Amino acid sequence: MRFNERIVLSGKEISDAALIAALVQCDEVVGEQKLTYFETVTCAALIAFTKTPADYLVMEVGLGGRLDATNVLDEVLAAVITPVDLDHQQFLGHALGGIAAEKAGIFRRCAPAIFGRQAPEVMSVLQQCARDTGAKVFAYGEQWDVYPERGRMTYQDDDGLSDLDLPRLAGIHQIENAGLAIAAVKAAGLKFSDEILSTGISLTFAPARMQRLSKGPLIDLARALLGEEPEIWLDGGHNPHAARAIAQLLADMEERSPKPLAMISGMQANKDATGYFAPFAGLASEVFTVAADHDGVASADAVAAAAKEAGHKVSVCASVVDAVTAACRDKINEPPRFLICGSLYLAGEVLKDHR
């Protein structure tokens, strides 16, 4: 929703004044040289970080890792690799092993390399890259594990078991994400108690990650058309790996509380839209496609073609409002479960009106 979301200082988004000051300083140092947009943002972020006292810095790679602007950091506590899947293929290639090797460029000698669940070919590449670099491997399913148990979350590694609160975020995949965060903390040697870990996990909130909307114009519209409280979920995931996680969560919801699933989706043109829609085949009753208001967006027709290729019934809509209206009218006798999905830009547009 705001550029400032990209840089968070001691729990708060960077202020406009601090952001402008960092960008000005960056421009002054660069002079006549040319930086890319992302390089400029990264430099501004690093300037802001140096001026804000903190215990730790968590920095997310922009694209790949080996050649990414964030990879200028030399002394790191740990390098973390979340599940690797196809994304940014125009830059990283179409082979999972090659993408994994690019991501492994963030490993540092004698610093732990922590891996989430990976495809076998990805895990093999990551482990070899870690050995070549001299990074200590801390891999899911080998050095650590995490699983739900009796309404709680159990984390396990060579040091023992931790009985923890479940994540606030919805979905079994968020248990593995939480486990990956805990593994990073422990591998880096940070001495956080189980109580502190539980607090962090249970309080963590990520906008547009299977976020249920509770108020706002779309809720009001659907309520008026359906005559009951609507169920509208918002998720900004946009690659096949994210789609599989979302589809699994929605399948679990369907088993507990059956409702027709109405997907409202817009995507960027450089994403694997057909691969994204594939996991929802047989789960979604209809896909309503829209175009987000952003550079590089795919047209609603292009997104519709991808959804059709994945086996879906599709309707092209001019806006999210039109899509909600069409879905409500189609399912007036059987209120749907809505999922607005496929793009963080689309999610941002929705959240601007639903805070």
Structure confidence by residue, pLDDT tens digits, 269-291:
988 899 999 999 999 999 999 99
Q: What mean pLDDT is predicted for residues 25-29?
A: 92
Beta carbons of 64 and 105 less than 8 angstroms apart = yes
**38 and 187 fall within a common domain:** yes
Reference 156, options 190, 84, 174, 164; nearest CA is 164
pLDDT at position 329 is 87
CATH, residue 96: 3.40.1190.10
Confidence check: pLDDT of 94 > 80:
no
For residues 295-300, average pLDDT:
90
pLDDT at 98 over 60: yes
Mark whether 236 and 270 lie in a shared domain: yes
Shared domain check, 196 and 338? no
Contact 237, 346 (CB under 8 A): no
Same domain, 120 and 267: no
Q: Do residues 179 and 279 both lie within one domain?
A: no
Residues 305 and 297: their CA atoms lie apart, in Å, by 14
Q: 332 falls in which pLDDT band (50, 70, 90)?
A: low
| Cα–Cα distance for residue pair 248/250, rounded to 1 Å | 5
62 burial via Cβ count (<10 Å: 0-12, 13-18, 19+): middle
User: Which of 203, 233, 265 is the last residue before a domain boundary?
Assistant: 203
Confidence band, pLDDT 50/70/90 cuts, at residue 53: confident
> Is the pLDDT assigned to residue 44 strictly greater than 90?
yes
| pLDDT-derived band at 292, boundaries 50, 70, 90 | confident
Contact yes or no for 240/275 (Cβ under 8 A): yes
Q: What is the 3-state secondary structure (H, E, C) of the chain?
A: CCHHHHCEECCEECCHHHHHHHHHHHHHHHCCCCCCHHHHHHHHHHHHHHCCCCCCCCCCCCCCCCCCHHHHCCCCCCEEECCCCCCCHHHHCCCHHHHHHHHHHHCCCCCEEEECCCCHHHHHHHHHHHHHHCCEEEEECCCEEEEEECCEEEEEECCEEEEECCCCCCCHHHHHHHHHHHHHHHHCCCCCCHHHHHHHHHHCCCCCCCEECCCCHHHHHHHHHHCCCCEEEEECCCCHHHHHHHHHHHHHHHHHCCCCEEEEECCECCCCHHHHHHHHCCCEEEEEECCCCCCCECCHHHHHHHHHHCCCCEEECCCHHHHHHHHHHHCCCCCCEEEEECCHHHHHHHHHCCC
Q: Give the pLDDT score at 23.
A: 95
Per-residue pLDDT tens digits for 138-183: 999 999 999 999 899 999 999 999 999 999 998 888 999 999 999 9
Domain that holds residue 99: 3-203
pLDDT at residue 241 in the model = 86
Q: Which of 275, 250, 218 is nearest to 85 (CA)?
A: 275
Residues 27 and 137 in one domain: yes
Encode burial over 76-107: b for 16+ CB neighbours within 10 A, e otherwise: bbbbbbbbbbbbeeeebeeebeebbbbbbbbb
Q: How far apart are the first and last CA of the chain?
A: 10
Give the range among 46-50, 62-66, 87-91 with minimum mean pLDDT.
87-91
Last residue within a domain, chosen from 168, 203, 238: 203
The whole-angstrom separation of Cα 103 and Cα 93 is: 12
Band (pLDDT 50/70/90 cuts) for residue 129 is very high
More confident residue, 23 or 75: 23
- Identify whether the C-beta of residue 195 lies closer than 8 Å to the C-beta of residue 271: no
| Nearest by Cα to 347 from 286, 249, 268, 245 | 268
**What pLDDT was estimated at residue 90?**
58
Mean pLDDT, the chain, integer: 92
Do 215 and 198 share a structural domain?
no
Q: What is the CATH number of the domain that holds 237?
A: 3.90.190.20
Share above pLDDT 90 across residues of the chain, in percent, rounded to a whole number: 79
Query: Do 97 and 186 share a structural domain?
Result: yes
Lowest mean pLDDT among 51-55, 144-148, 298-302: 51-55
- pLDDT level of residue 31 (50, 70, 90 thresholds): confident
What is the pTM (predicted TM-score) of this model? 0.87
Last residue of a domain, one of 178, 203, 228: 203
Nearest to 158 by CA among 128, 130, 137: 137
Using a pLDDT cut of 70, give the percent of the chain over it. 96
Does 86 have pLDDT greater than 80?
Answer: no
| Averaged pLDDT, 298-308 | 96
If asked whether residues 194 and 266 sit together in one domain, one would say: no
| pLDDT (average), residues 23-49 | 92
Residue 39 pLDDT greater than 70, yes or no: yes
Same domain? For 176 and 215 the reply is no
Q: What CA–CA distances, in Å, run from 4 to 13, 18, 71? A: 6, 10, 21
Provide the token pair at 311.
Answer: 């086996």
Q: Which residues make Cβ contacts (< 8 Å) with residue 347, sequence separation at least 6?
A: 207, 208, 234, 235, 236, 340
Does the pLDDT of residue 56 top 90, yes or no? yes
What is the reported pLDDT for 131? Answer: 95
Number of domains in the chain: 2
Q: How far is CA 307 from CA 248, 251, 258, 266, in A?
A: 18, 18, 22, 11
Residues 290 and 314 in one domain: yes
pLDDT grade for 32, boundaries at 50, 70 and 90: confident
Same domain, residue pair 218 and 296: yes
pLDDT at position 93: 58
